[in-house]
Structure 1
Amino acid sequence: MILLDENTKAIVQGITGKQGRFHTKEMIKYGTNIVAGTSPGKAGETVEGVPVYNSIEEIKKYHPDINASIIFIPAPYVKDAAFEAICEVDLVIIITEHIPIHDTMEIVKYAQEHNTTVIGPNTPGIITPGVGKLGIMPTHIFNKGNIGLVSRSGTLTYEIASQITDAGFGQSTCLGIGGDPVTGIDFISALKQFEEDPETEKIVLLGEIGGIAEVKAAEYAKEHVTKPIISFIAGVSAPLGKRMGHAGAIIEGTDGTAQNKKELLAKLGVKVADVPSDIVELIKE
């Protein structure tokens, strides 16, 4: 498992909002240790038995050992919330989408300066099956096992995780890095962590059209990763210049096409699936 384990003590920023309330309940139900939440002006309330405070600074007075935060806050206010969290915890998950790219760039830079890991924005989060989740993913499709999964797409994560589970395998940790052009943790960072994780034996990397992040990750893996990597690139039929779903999924020239990525990944030693259903067969090899 990586990033999220039995020692994670998390807070929820925006806990009294509709999404914050719903997912706090689901995360607690799955066994995640949610110790507190923030909602300015709502201090003294509780959500699912979790105490609400005005700020993280206030939380730290009563829960000094918090080490993770998950953010359910509207896009215009995420930068301030992320900066507040980055100063205080080791792991920040930003679920919110449609965050201005310049805000994300500032968040990522600030996190690097404070040695804090940021997952997202525009991510389904992270789940360590059997331990907990900081995210919005449906838990019934995951099963404890030794396959590490990292993805740019939330829905693709769910589809592949479900197929892995149905085939009798399980996952060590699954995380979505987010579909925006700029994100916190990237494929290379995730591969590095999975390589060092004794509970991960194989890695599934789910990419999509746009950018060259998957190819850079495969180049890194060729030199530094000993574990088998299985990949699928979504968007084979996407037309040039067309944005597909994610802000980061736009093709300019040939570098970002699915076909080009598949060919380059294969040359770099990654097992590449033509369709999602091939992934389980490649895991079995």
Structure 2
Amino acid sequence: MSILVNKDSRVITQGMTGKTGQFHTAACREYGFGKECFVGGVNPKKAGQTWEGLPIFGTVQEAKKATGANVSVIYVPPAGAASAIMEASDAGMDLIICITEGIPVLDMIQVREHMRKTGSKSLLLGPNCPGLVTPGEIKVGIMPAHIHKKGRIGVVSRSGTLTYEAVAQLSELGLGQSTAVGIGGDPINGLKHKDILRLFDEDPDTDAVVMIGEIGGSDEEEAALWAKEHMSKPVVGFIAGVTAPAGKRMGHAGAIISGGKGTAEGKLRTMEECGIRTTRNPSEIGSLLKEVLNSSN
């Protein structure tokens, strides 16, 4: 069991024929059941062609009809990425994973409004995210494959590199993952920490969760408050940006402290008040989870 993707997922790549799309699609096909899971690509200018044996379609709708795809991953450059998300949503994809970084915020506001107006049932992961991995089964996105190990720990993170760090620590300690999910750090995005915590809580094969956040916004606090009321499994947390100065944008577009809100200390305090064990040292994420698991046994 896993969340969002597994060996039965059928994936198309929007932007597969670009350099980035080709590189990562090839890597994803080499992982787990990738050769069965990745079934085609979309490029209106190259419809009817093939790449590495995969058919290229003119639209997402055509690709879905021909292949039965239910997941789309997007590597389209920033100027066209919002249109690509809306096209995948209109085609009724179950899950849309947008890797693209640098999509204008106004474009994402339009995407959100479009999905709301059309009553879209699609789940959006990202944009500006590394994707997700269900170890041993499927990798969709840009996460390094070799650090993952199959197991029963869920990982959700706003930071790409810290996702990798947490996963590598867990694997080294013999704690495999059910699914590792990077939700991205843009101010307007799809699935939030809270949504992923809910999915992990409902997954019978996830025993505990690592939640990694960043300064800026209030998503982590909202997730912590939800977890306090509803989560039946232990969660450990880390927030990046403890030393970040207020008012200065740090890395991700969403990582800005404003009006005293969104500080790392404030987020950590809320998480701790909600029963989530936290660390201020990223190198201790794995060992903290192991400690929590040992104490609950």
Query: If the TM-score is normalised by the length of the shorter chain, which range does it land in?
Result: over 0.9
Aligned residue type for 2:88: A
Find the aligned partners of 1:107 and 1:50 in 2 and give their Cα distance. 28
Report if aligned partners of 1:111, 1:117 keep a CA contact under 8 Å in 2.
no
Question: Of 224, 227, 235, which aligns to 1:221?
Answer: 227
Q: Alpha-carbon deviations, 1:207-261, whole Å to 9, x = none? A: 0111111011000011111100000001111111111100110111332111121
Give me the whole-angstrom Cα distance separating, in 2, the residues matched to 1:125 and 1:60: 20
Partner Cα distance (2:53, 2:9) in 1: 18
State the match for 1:163 in structure 2: 169
Which residue of the partner structure matches residue 183 of structure 1?
189
Aligned counterpart for 1:242 among listed residues 244, 248, 251: 248
Amino acid at match of 1:277: S
Q: Which of 135, 141, 144 is the aligned partner of 2:141?
A: 135
Q: What does residue 45 of structure 2 align with?
A: 41
The 2-side partners of 1:150 and 1:119 are apart by 11
**1:6 partner amino acid:** K
SS in 2 for 1:206: strand
The answer to whether structure 1 residue 261 and structure 2 residue 275 are counterparts is: no
Q: Report if aligned partners of 1:121, 1:180 keep a CA contact under 8 Å in 2.
A: yes
Choose which of 75, 79, 94 in structure 2 pairs with 1:90.
94
Q: Aligned partners of 1:59, 1:152: CA distance in 2, in Å? A: 30
What is aligned with 2:104? 100
Equivalent residues of 1:108, 1:118 under 8 A apart: no
The answer (yes or no) to whether the contact 2:64–2:70 under 8 Å persists in 1 is: no
1:254–1:260 Cα contact (<8 Å) kept = no
Q: Which amino acid aligns with 2:51?
A: V
Q: How many residues align?
A: 284
**What residue ranges of structure 2 are gaps of 5+ in the alignment?**
292-297
Regions of 4+ moved over 3 Å: 109-112
Could you state the TM-score of these two structures normalised by the residue count of structure 2? Answer: 0.93
Shift in Å, 1:62: 2.0
What percentage of residue pairs aligned between the two structures are identical? 48
Q: Cα RMSD (Å) of the superposition?
A: 1.2
- Aligned residue number for residue 295 of structure 2: none
Q: Distance in 2 between matches of 1:20 and 1:263?
A: 40
Secondary structure of the corresponding residue to residue 103 of structure 1 = helix
1:100 shift after superposition: 1.2
Aligned partners of 1:255 and 1:261 also within 8 Å: no
- 5+ unaligned residues in a row in structure 1: which ranges? none
